[in-house]
A and B are shown apart, each in its own frame.
Chain A
Amino acid sequence: DQQVKQNSPSLSVQEGRISILNCDYTNSMFDYFLWYKKYPAEGPTFLISISSIKDKNEDGRFTVFLNKSAKHLSLHIVPSQPGDSAVYFCAARGTYKYIFGTGTRLKVLA
């Protein structure tokens, strides 16, 4: 039972445009939602998070939106840069565990 889902395994975007990565979840008890970026042979790196009591959080080029009624969150990257090319994981924090989605590979084309 996959409680956190990323339905798009890959996404290609032109440099300078917006990248939108999506994530759906099923458990209403999660208290934080997070986005991580991962390069090969490295550990996941934290990008941005949002508390379940908020609907938007912004940090520089990264904005996370949370729609609790739809159990959906998204990560917007504006403007996208070639260095943003990586695998992005969304995660949700439950009781003593974080559950990860299956990842979306973002490719930003120069």
Chain B
Amino acid sequence: DTAVSQTPKYLVTQMGNDKSIKCEQNLGHDTMYWYKQDSKKFLKIMFSYNNKELIINETVPNRFSPKSPDKAHLNLHINSLELGDSAVYFCASSQLAGGSTGELFFGEGSRLTVL
């Protein structure tokens, strides 16, 4: 029973297209995130949501639009895809209040390739 699941795992598309990545967590966490791992393998935060509300937008172009229909879901829609959007996108979740480890739980990643 996967804690943080994201789909699709692989996505190949043409420049200019629009695509979406879905994410769901079954941990009951109140905060969800999108991270991008670029070609240099750096993990950079893009967005964080707390109880469905956008808290952080880390200077991400507005072609990227996250949506959180409820606490358990955080989807990422990308318009007008560019070559530089090619990366692995990770969804993650955490429980900011309480907990003993501060752990951030990751999904398996969605590899986006823009041709």
> Footprint of B on A, CB under 8 Å?
31-32, 34, 36, 41-46, 49, 51, 87, 89, 91, 93, 96-100, 102-103
Closest CB pairs A-B (n = 6): A32-B102, A43-B106, A100-B43, A96-B55, A96-B48, A43-B108
Using Cβ atoms and an 8 Å threshold, which residues of chain A touch B104? 34, 46, 91, 93, 98
**A49 to B43 Cα, complex, angstroms:** 18
Using Cβ atoms and an 8 Å threshold, which residues of chain A touch B106? 36, 43-45
The reply on B109 being an interface residue by CB < 8 A is yes
Closest-by-CB residue of A relative to B45 is A97
The reply on B96 being an interface residue by CB < 8 A is yes
Using Cβ atoms and an 8 Å threshold, which residues of chain A touch B40? 102
Nearest chain A CB to B28's CB is how many angstroms away? Answer: 17
Assess the A99–B102 pair: CB atoms within 8 A: no
Nearest chain A CB to B113's CB is how many angstroms away? Answer: 14
Assess the B103–A49 pair: CB atoms within 8 A: yes
Given contacts A89-B43, A98-B104, contact A44 B56 (CB under 8 A): no
Using Cβ atoms and an 8 Å threshold, which residues of chain B touch A100? 35, 42-44
Most buried by B among A34, A43, A91: A43
Nearest chain B CB to A31's CB is how many angstroms away? Answer: 7
Nearest chain A CB to B91's CB is how many angstroms away? Answer: 9
Assess the A34–B41 pair: CB atoms within 8 A: no
Given contacts A42-B109, A43-B90, A44-B90, contact A99 B103 (CB under 8 A): no
Using Cβ atoms and an 8 Å threshold, which residues of chain B touch A45? 106
**A93 to B31 Cα, complex, angstroms:** 13
Nearest chain A CB to B79's CB is how many angstroms away? Answer: 24
**A44 to B43 Cα, complex, angstroms:** 10
Nearest chain A CB to B35's CB is how many angstroms away? Answer: 8
**A34 to B90 Cα, complex, angstroms:** 17
Assess the A41–B109 pair: CB atoms within 8 A: yes
Nearest chain A CB to B52's CB is how many angstroms away? Answer: 13
The reply on B101 being an interface residue by CB < 8 A is yes
Using Cβ atoms and an 8 Å threshold, which residues of chain A touch B45? 97-99
